Structure 1
């Protein structure tokens, strides 16, 4: 079995698509399995090739967000990473709500794109930092229950560190936990916040902290 990360690329600009493919083709543990130029081809490539990560543009022929939703539902193992010039928050929200694991702007450098692909392939979320800051402060799509967020002390501790920009590994090192334990707690937090990913979870707690003077912590094991 190959340990390579299989990548699909869907963009309606052939030169850009070929450039990205050439860049990724030089990475030892990457394999570009297929390319396409529209939303329908993204769905077809996802079903036929089952790439680990599917790079998709936002603005291309077809309903891109419907394709993201369809891929997320039909091929959940395929991680969608948007690679686009669009800095629209609505586009980013639509992509993330549809099931995309990441959102990266096309001005990204080669090493940053490689990092984004590796992050998404592991099931984590990656968003261009400057855009992520705006999304976290303005996210309004998922409302946290007004009666309080029923988190344990340890869950609150971990989400606060994640909100400060730390990765699971960095949180684990800081709190003296295993990375697997941190991931377990983050899964619990996302379920309680009805969040699909880390971005939504952090946005929810940030919004809650801003609108409430106190934090309601449930009674439970740390």
Structure 2
């Protein structure tokens, strides 16, 4: 299967560099490049890619608004490109439906791996990003509830939601909170990756969480993991 990608960044060198790195791999095809959020949305609508890489700060329409539109209209995975320290709005991307974050100084191999990982539905939260992102997110007092879909009768974290999880599902949630991939969680729990995927799906469904990123935040908000640990 060829992974179809759109790269959106207003800096030509960054955009072109990412496209060149990804396009050098036979299982990845960069179907379009975009200079701003509006072009990115148009490209996703036209080419139906599997992943769109979105710079958070772009003219005309920023990456967050583009992600919100893309995630609402399509099954394309949105990955945000950020310098992190300078992006005060990175937290809004969580509620826009972003599947993960990449630092702009990401290594070549990590960029390619990230695209493959997010298409597979796995976590795209490197510990270096996850710890700071989630700790700051929680410190701001911004809960996941505002960005979650209502699941009807599912208790939110903090008011009994964790009580619906089995012991193994709680362990899975803790490991998700530490930024581990399915393969890493499987190794920790000594189970198959298929079993881990089942546990992750159950955690998301029982807690009414949209994706793995919100599961990470939930792990911090409920005290299963302390920020910075």
Aligned residue number for residue 119 of structure 2: 121
- Cα deviation, residue 172, structure 1: 2.1
Matches within 5 A, 1:30-179: 30-64=28-62, 65-76=64-75, 78-88=76-86, 90-138=88-136, 139=138, 140-142=142-144, 144-148=156-160, 149-150=162-163, 151-179=165-193
Superposed CA deviations along residues 175-199 of structure 1, whole A, max 9, x for unmatched, are 3322122112111212333322222
| Structure 2 gaps, min length 5 | 146-155
1:9 offset after TM fit, Å? 0.8
Give the Cα separation in 2 of the matches to 1:16 and 1:5.
20
Pairwise CA distance, 1:90: 4.2
Change (3 A) 1:10 1:158: same
- C-alpha distance in structure 2 between counterparts of 1:192 and 1:114, whole Å: 32
TM-score where L is the length of structure 1: 0.84
State yes or no: 1:188 paired with 2:186: no
Secondary structure of residue in 2 paired with 1:146: coil
- Mapped partners of 1:136, 1:52: distance in 2: 26
Q: 1:142 to 1:165 in 2, by over 3 A?
A: closer
- Quick one: structure 1 residues 145 and 183, their matched pair in 2 at CA, closer, same or farther if it must change by over 3 Å? same
CA distance in 2 between counterparts of 1:19 and 1:104 reads: 14
Q: Distance in 2 between matches of 1:125 and 1:87?
A: 21
Count of residues in correspondence between the two structures: 208
Distance 1:54 1:7 in 2: 6
Distance in 2, Cα, partners of 1:200 & 1:88: 22
Which of the two has higher C-alpha Rg?
A: 1
What is the SS of the residue equivalent to 2:85? coil
- The residue that corresponds to 2:221 in the other structure is 207
Distance 1:163 1:147 in 2: 19
Structure 1, unpaired ranges of 5+: 212-222
SS at match of 1:127: coil
